Chain A
Amino acid sequence: DTAVSQTPKYLVTQMGNDKSIKCEQNLGHDTMYWYKQDSKKFLKIMFSYNNKELIINETVPNRFSPKSPDKAHLNLHINSLELGDSAVYFCASSPPPYFGPGTRLLVL
């Protein structure tokens, strides 16, 4: 039974498009996160939600908009995709922090 799941697993799209990544957790956790892992494998926090409220919003372009419809879901919408957005995006929930399998985004 998957604890933190993300869809899609892979996303290949053109510059300028808008895309969404969905995340769901079945652990009953109150806190959910989005992390970005760059080509050097460093994990950097983007957003954190606690009980559907935005807690952490790091310096992320406002083209990225998270949305938490309920405690078990945290989706990430990205507008006007740019080449530099290509990375692996991980959803996580806590405590303790468990990560999803990641969404590999490639912007062409």
Chain B
Amino acid sequence: QKEVEQDPGPLSVPEGAIVSLNCTYSNSAFQYFMWYRQYSRKGPELLMYTYSSGNKEDGRFTAQVDKSSKYISLFIRDSQPSDSATYLCAMIKGAGSYQLTFGKGTKLSVIP
């Protein structure tokens, strides 16, 4: 079993829809959770960085962490065509750990 599982999609939604992206993980040692957005031929762009269980909101983006279920989510409200990209979850095992472990990424298309 891979340490981080992420459905690669592709996921296609109409403009204005709420998008839900998810990752599960198997190792309870993961403490820090990140979501990245990667446009084609660009570097991953950090969207959200969270530590504790619960929700963190930034504009149209909400990151949710449930450590008891080993499950993290990214919600995008009022999705726009410019949100079309690959979304990657990533995790770090805690203070003193330096290695990010990535999911495989979910490709999202928002159709006008």
Contact = CB atoms under 8 A, between A and B. Distances in A.
B86 interface: yes
B43 A99 contact: yes
Interface string A80-108: 00000000001010111111111010000
Interface string B55-89: 00000000000000000000000000000001010
Contacts of A100: 43
B44 interface: yes
Interface size class of A (residues with CB under 8 A): 20 to 34
Given A41-B86, A41-B104, A42-B104, A96 B98 contact: no
Interface string A34-56: 00000011110100101000011
B46 interface: yes
Interface size class of B (residues with CB under 8 A): 20 to 34
Contact of B49 (A43, A55, A96): A96
Contacts of B17: none
A95 B94 CA distance: 11
B30 interface: no
Contact of A99 (B45, B99, B104, B105): B45
Interface of B: 32, 34, 36, 38, 41-46, 49, 86, 88, 90, 92, 98-100, 102, 104-105
